[in-house]
Amino acid sequence: MHNHTFTTEEELVLKSLAAGLKEREIEEVLLDPEDASVAVYVQSVLSKLGLSSKRELLQYARTHYSEATAV
CATH number at residue 31: 1.10.10
Q: What angle do CA 7, 9, 15 make, to 5 degrees?
A: 105
- pTM comes to 0.81
**Residue 20 pLDDT > 50, yes or no?**
yes
The reply to whether 28 falls in a domain is yes
**Is 40 a member of any domain?**
yes
- Whether 12 is in a domain gets the answer yes
Percentage of the chain exceeding pLDDT 70: 87
- Residue numbers of the domain that contains 28: 8-69
Residue 45, domain member (yes or no): yes
Query: Is 3 inside any structural domain?
Result: no
Neighbours of 62 (CB within 10 A): 16
Q: How many domains does the chain have?
A: 1
- One DSSP character per residue, 24-67 reads HHIIIIIS-TTSPPHHHHHHHHHHHHT---HHHHHHHHHHHS-G
Whether 1 is in a domain gets the answer no
43-56: pLDDT as tens digits: 999 999 999 999 99
Give pLDDT tens digits for 28-44: 887 777 878 899 999 99
